[in-house]
Amino acid sequence: MTKLGYAREMPNDASEFRFLTGDAARVERTAALPTVVRTEFPLGVGGGSLSALRFSPDQPVELVLLHGAGLNAHSFDPLVLALDRPAISVDLPGHGRSSWRADADYRPEVLAPAILEFLLTLADGQPDAPFKLLGHSLGGLTAAYVASKFEKLRPGMLLELMIVDITPSVSPSTDGGGVAEFITGQRSFATVDEAVDRAVAFGIGSDRTALTRGVALNTRTREDGRLEWTHHFAHLDGLPSAAPADTDPAAANDPHPYAGAWDALESLTCRVVLFPAADGMVSPALAQEFAHRLPTGTIATIAGPHNLHEAVPVDLANHIRELDPR
């Protein structure tokens, strides 16, 4: 069993795994459900802790997953069940059960040190078992920064970086405007169905069963009986799109604040794969730029919305397998 340094396994709350059986049926999984445990990883960088879900903890980790803004580690449950590989899905800082940042700064380059610390500990616990990293949206940009530094510190341990429906040239004010409005435009809901209706209206997905599951795992009940999102963004004015205004006012209006992530991607020696969503945030022009900047990279467009791993987990799993059959 891979050790995660001073990470500790948390007592499992059965209610948070109540959707796994339905997830397995949805992806037509015939094998028994894997063991899933929640772990907590205390952080030395900035304090606080990361929470994560570990699938098949008796085996070395093959895949680490980072979700997008406003989501949590459970958003990858269907994908992991479809892939049937030992994996760790991490709650980014400010999401799920991970600590909120006191400065409320959730730019990808700011999140990267905490994820890097986690991955270094993971690598040291399984030094003979390299793994892959997959990030969606905000998690994809964070993964780019992490991968660049991780490769230098643990050469050969990162086999591949997979990015789902994001590139460093996505503009938060245009390409990501719908996602930002969905996350921050309405802070509370009378019912789960109301939140699902909003998700459908914003093109987050169309499968109401899957969306109901996602809302249930990403909301909590307030004292007044209304539901609110559990992530920190629900209590902020916007998403992490630029440097805070008090540090650099010009940067706060930068339409491409993630440009530094291109340098990180272009420095990588491992394979880099981009999975654009046909109805997502990566336009053909952005995909073409990715191909130009990373000529050795791979692009595989998948039919579906921005949250491919939730909307079409089997299709995404099949594409991952086709690129690396086992």
Domain CATH code at residue 147: 3.40.50.1820
Domain that holds residue 106: 8-170+256-323
Over 80: is that where the pLDDT of 77 sits? yes
Question: Is residue 249 in some structural domain?
Answer: no
Question: Is residue 12 in some structural domain?
Answer: yes
The secondary element (H helix, E strand) that includes residue 214 is helix 208-216
Question: Is residue 2 in some structural domain?
Answer: no
Domain count across the chain: 1
- Band of pLDDT at residue 211, cut at 50, 70 and 90: confident
SS3 assignment, position 221: strand
CB neighbourhood size of 314 (10 A): 16
DSSP state of 111: H
Output the six-digit token pair for 4. 């995660």
Ranked by mean pLDDT, which of 6-20, 137-151, 164-178, 198-212 comes out on top?
137-151
Question: Is residue 3 in some structural domain?
Answer: no
Q: Which residues pair with 50 in a beta bridge?
A: 41
Task: Answer whether 0.75 is exceeded by the pTM.
Answer: yes
Q: Which pLDDT belongs to residue 144? A: 98
Over 70: is that where the pLDDT of 35 sits? yes
Over 90: is that where the pLDDT of 174 sits? no
Range from 25-34, 93-102, 193-202 carrying the lowest mean pLDDT: 193-202
pLDDT in tens, 223-260: 999 999 888 988 887 665 544 434 444 444 555 678 89
Q: Which residues pair with 305 in a beta bridge?
A: 279
CA triple 279-281-283, angle to 5 deg:
80
